[in-house]
Amino acid sequence: MSVSFVRNISDLEYCEAQGVFTQLIQQEDLDQYVSLTPKCLKPFEDVLDLAMVEAYEAQPSSYSAHLFLQQILYRINRLKLFWYDDLENYTNEDSVFLLSIRKKIETAWQSWEAQNIDISLLQGLDIEAALRERAAEDLNPELSQAGIFYRNDMSQVGYRQLLAIASLDGLVEASQLSRVIGGVGNEVQTMLTKILFEEYGGAKLE
């Protein structure tokens, strides 16, 4: 598709295309449905094709197009995790149609990244040193405005209340994560289990 003749897609059109995709992903036996009624794909695929041009070919690239494509990828990839909800939501986990959409987006995305990243700079980079430097920055980040307030101005009573809220949030997060890692084991769930143990101490007191 020529970039010169691409029209801009409105946020409403992206929203409508997402609605169509949501209906598709919830279809029972999606691959058969697509095979029998290929016309049902047109509203979604038309927007998908235009979004890929706007995101990966047009200059400057469109933020809305990038967001739309990432949301589609998210909807497809999240099927590989069990979210402790109705099993019917995973009917199309191995859909050939969905896998083809993912491959189509990711292939174009990878090419776009290769064109927009200085590969020669990366090739001369000391990867180990760069990772250590980034890890050190993550361990000792600069204080945000909120962090400065907590350090300099918050009272002891206020800090206790903040700790109580943060502790409750942590318990809720751990509870949700523990439900996510239920079900049949795979590499993703193994990593999530490892994160759960590392984040919450693995039953250790320190």
Q: Domain of residue 165: give its range.
A: 142-203
Per the domain annotation, does 150 fall within a domain? Answer: yes
E strand or H helix that includes residue 142: none
Per the domain annotation, does 137 fall within a domain? Answer: no
Residue after which a domain boundary falls, among 89, 122, 155? 122
Domain count for the chain, please give it.
2
DSSP 69-93: HHHHHHHHHGGGS--SS-GGGGTTT
d(CA 59, CA 62): 8
Per the domain annotation, does 128 fall within a domain? Answer: no
DSSP 59: S
d(CA 7, CA 199): 47
Q: How many helices (H) and strands (E) does the chain have?
A: 10, 0
Per the domain annotation, does 23 fall within a domain? Answer: yes
pLDDT in tens, the chain (206 residues): 544 445 678 889 999 999 999 999 999 999 999 999 999 999 999 999 999 999 999 888 889 999 999 999 999 998 887 666 677 778 898 999 999 999 999 999 999 988 888 878 878 888 899 889 988 888 887 888 888 888 888 888 888 888 877 776 666 665 666 666 665 566 777 777 777 667 665 545 44
